[in-house]
Amino acid sequence: MKNNNENKILNVPNLRFPEFSGEWENCQIANILSIGSGRDYKHLEKGNIPVFGTGGYMTSVNECIYDGETTFIGRKGSINKPFYYNGKFWTVDTLFYTHSFNKTTPKFVYCLFQTINWLRYNEASGVPSLSKDTIEKIKVFIPQLDEQRKISEMLSVIDERIATQNKIIEDLKKLKSAIYQEIFSNLQGEECSLLDLAEIIKGQQINGSELSDSGKYYVMNGGIAPSGYYDSYNTEADTISISEGGNSCGYVQYNSSEFWSGGHCYTLRIKPTSSIATHFLFHYLKWKEPDIMALRIGSGLPNIQKKDLSKISIIVPTLDKQLQLTVLLSAFKKKIENEEMYVANLDKQKQYLLQQMFI
């Protein structure tokens, strides 16, 4: 790769394969491809041809709207998630497909579409929407076909590795669920309620304007990821949290560092009188997570009441048995985390290349 950061020619990317030179061509999307619109499929019979919407695969029918390579882009809804497909397919009216490529290749278009900030072209105040006319007028830069193929081939290798890695993670999670079921469904010990073992503490709400995008202490609220960062913490490390409200209420998380527990977050403080290890309780509650999520009430912003959470039943074996199981399950949890970290790094690498190898 050669670096063109100091290159005064504007129409070249920062990073480029050394065998290529010259400026890229500036053109509108309408000059390099045609955009097809999806249609209703309900008049069709069942078959083996996939039907796609903005969320991906929907069902299969007996006719196709197009046969070949394409890059899909959402017309309504998820307009910022292009995806590539090769073969016969049908699309619904919320999804555009591309065809009749000119001076470009379908896989290069897929890569190119991933560099476009589609939300910038949103035409609706409610559900994000794009029009064919807007897409066709977007200006892009493209190189010669041989350079396009070289770029798309390299990025395809990374995409394939990411897909393989995601399959590994999916299989590991299925295996973890099976191990959880085998261990905990046959566990012998004293039956206790969660309230017998731990104090359930609701967090403290802080104003969203006080949160930052980075910092020392993350803020857990009603989701499965931090809602931001704050300059102080209200919960010690090695604490179990359970989401109290929102679409992810009931999500169980182990927190290895200090954090701020927000207003839609429960934390558990193990009682001095209980003979249960924090890590063991985490794994047990993670196994019980579907039951905890089933406690949610409310149709608007669902939530879980503390009184209902406190009644969750826990089987408590001896401390020696807890330690034995925790060593096994924590090692498995760490394995999954390492694989997830690896795929996250692959994605960062891909995003860097998309930023540097396109204009």
Which pLDDT belongs to residue 54? 92
What's the CA gap between 198 and 99, in Å, rounded?
Answer: 60
| Arithmetic mean of pLDDT, 140-150 | 98
Question: Has residue 113 been placed in a domain?
Answer: yes
Instruction: Looking at the structure, tell me whether residues 138 and 49 fall in a common domain.
Output: yes
pLDDT of the residue at 154: 97
With beta carbons less than 8 A apart as the criterion, state whether 252 and 333 touch: no
Same domain, 125 and 64: yes
Segment 226-244, tens digit of pLDDT:
999 999 999 999 999 999 9
Tell me the residue range of the domain where 126 lies: 25-142
Evaluate whether residue 131 is within a structural domain.
Answer: yes
Structural element, H or E, at residue 224:
none
State CA 195 to chain mean position distance.
33
Residue 14 lies in a domain: no
All residues at 6 or more sequence positions from 109 whose CB lies less than 8 Å from its CB, including other chains? 32, 33, 71, 98, 101
Same domain, residue pair 176 and 210:
no
pLDDT digits (tens, 9 = 90+) for 289-316: 999 999 999 877 899 999 999 999 999 9
Does a structural domain hold residue 13? no
Going by C-alpha positions, the residue among 161, 160, 155 that lies closest to residue 108 is 155
Whether 55 is covered by a domain: the verdict is yes
Cα→Cα distances 65→58, 69, 95, 165, 337, Å: 15, 12, 12, 32, 41
19-64 pLDDT, tens digit per residue, is 999 999 999 999 999 999 999 999 999 999 999 999 999 999 999 9
77: tokens are: 């809804």
pLDDT band of residue 284 (cuts 50, 70, 90) is: very high
pLDDT at residue 5, rounded to an integer: 61
Q: Specify the number of domains making up the chain.
A: 3
96 and 37 in a common domain: yes
Specify the pLDDT at position 9: 59
Residue 9 in domain = no
> How many Å apart are CA 230 and CA 211, to the nearest integer?
5
Q: What is the CATH number of the domain that holds 333?
A: 1.10.287.1120
Same domain, 225 and 269: yes
pLDDT grade, residue 7 (50/70/90)?
A: low
* Domain assignment of residue 230, yes or no: yes
Its pTM stands at 0.83
- Within the chain, strands assigned E span 2-3, 15-16, 25-28, 34-37, 46-53, 56-61, 66-74, 83-91, 95-99, 139-142, 190-193, 198-202, 217-220, 228-230, 239-243, 252-255, 260-261, 265-270, 313-316
* Predicted pLDDT of residue 199: 97
* pLDDT, average across residues 151-179: 97
Is residue 177 domain-shared with residue 205, that is, in the same domain? no
1: in domain = no
Indicate whether 166 and 132 sit together in one domain. no
- Mean pLDDT calculated for residue range 126-146: 96
Q: Are residues 135 and 157 in the same domain?
A: no
One domain for residues 193 and 288: yes
Specify whether 136 is located in the same domain as 170.
Answer: no
**Both 134 and 31 in a single domain?**
yes
